[in-house]
Amino acid sequence: MKAPAFSYLRPENISQAIDFIDIYGDEARWLAGGQSLLAALNMRLAAPSVLIDINGLSELAGISVNAGKLIIGALTRHREIEHSPLVAQHASLLALAMPHVAHAAVRNRGTFGGSIAFADPAAELPACCIALDAEFVIVGRGGERRVRARHFFTGLYETALQTGEILVAAEIPCARDKGRAAFRELARRHGDYAIAGLAVQAAVEGDVLRDVNIAFFGVDSKPVLAEHAASVLEQGAATPARIEQAQHQLAQDLAPQDDVHYSGAMRMQLARVLLARAIGDLVNLETKSAAR
């Protein structure tokens, strides 16, 4: 099918973009890479009467470091993040995750902000941002506000963004000395949305983990921070026994539901297996026994 008819606007700066969205409100959608939005239009899952194309807003694009924070503009393409030396140095979790986001052709066009705002529950970047304790910078008529990633995703394809607001950037604390990342997902084919996956950021000294952030995706209607499992892992060396304990604690963090594709029980089992593998990656542990 083809998209329903829509009007097309292309603002030259953020201020003009906010003027446009003020006029059209809920009738309008921001158009970034179009990799999700245009498919939704073609399938008639969405029918906005106006698309506001933000591709000309150069102030929304790019990657920089300022005051101990890695700043990723909303319009930065997935491919740029994948190959950025700044991202590899300061937020290696994103570099690990990016090759799993769709396929090269989609990554050439898809944007960081589009993925965050779209909030697909099986998407990799929202979970990474939670694990990295990112903060999102949002602009609207009332000025600028910030929302921590862990509070941003409010439900299935739902976020804290209000009508009339635009996501401008993510600010991510630069990884410290001992900071390490692990990323695991299971998808039917490489590049597909994940059946289940997780992003982990922690301080690692030998086999001891501190400040553990574990964010799962694909297992609920939004990404989930697994705080109970993380707190078990912070209690001592990451031995196979402790990892197994953390796997059990996941029952406190996750409650995957049955859907048309898989049972909740299967997703929970996958989450446990992927957790053991990711923690094994962090401490270079042979996790075969715990990963069963």
Ligand X SMILES: Cc1cc2nc3c(=O)[nH]c(=O)nc-3n(C[C@H](O)[C@H](O)[C@H](O)COP(=O)(O)OP(=O)(O)OC[C@H]3O[C@@H](n4cnc5c(N)ncnc54)[C@H](O)[C@@H]3O)c2cc1C
Binders of ligand X: how many residues, by CB under 6 A?
A: 31
Which residue among 17, 18, 21, 31 contacts ligand X (CB under 6 A)? 31
What angle separates helix 240-253 from helix 264-283, to the nearest 10 degrees? 140
Position 218 contacts ligand X (CB under 6 A): no
102 near ligand X, judged by CB under 6 A? yes
Residue 73 interacts with ligand X (CB under 6 A)? no
Amino acid at 237: A
Q: For the CB of residue 97, give the shortest distance to ligand X in the complex, in Å.
A: 9
Using CB under 6 A as the binding rule, whether residue 110 contacts ligand X is answered as yes
Choice from 113, 179, 223, 256 touching ligand X (CB under 6 A): 113
Residues comprising the chain, all counted: 292
Decide if residue 240 touches ligand X (CB under 6 A). Answer: no
Q: Could you tell me if 162 and 16 are in contact, meaning their C-beta atoms sit under 8 angstroms apart?
A: no
Specify the stretch interacting with ligand X by CB under 6 A; choose among 5-13, 19-27, 98-106, 281-289. 98-106
By CB under 6 A, tell whether 76 contacts ligand X. no
* Sequence-separated contacts (24+) of 234-238 with Cβ below 8 Å: 234/209, 234/210, 236/208, 237/206, 237/207, 237/208, 238/207, 238/208, 238/209, 238/279, 238/282, 238/283, 238/285
Provide the 10 A C-beta neighbour count for residue 290.
24
Considering the complex, what minimum distance in angstroms separates the CB of residue 7 from ligand X?
15
Should residue 197 be labelled a site residue for ligand X when binding is judged by CB under 6 A? Answer: no
In order of 117, 137, 144, 196, 241, the CA distances from 165 in angstroms are: 11, 10, 9, 30, 47
Name the minimum Å distance from CB 144 to ligand X: 13
In our burial notation (b when 16+ CB lie closer than 10 A, e otherwise), range 185-204 reads bbbeeeeebbbbbbbbbbbb
Residue 179 host element (H or E): strand 179-186
Residue from the set 9, 17, 18, 32 that interacts with ligand X by CB under 6 A:
32
What are the residues facing 77 on neighbouring strands? 111
Q: What residues between 123 and 142 interact with ligand X by CB under 6 A?
A: 123-125
Place of tokens 């009332």: 142
Q: Which of 9, 61, 74, 224 touches ligand X by CB under 6 A?
A: 74
Among 17, 18, 21, 36, binds ligand X (CB under 6 A): 36
Residue 34 sits in the site that holds ligand X (CB under 6 A) = yes
Which residues of this chain interact with ligand X, rule CB under 6 A? 29-37, 39, 74, 101-102, 106, 110-111, 113-115, 117-118, 120, 123-125, 161, 166-167, 191-193
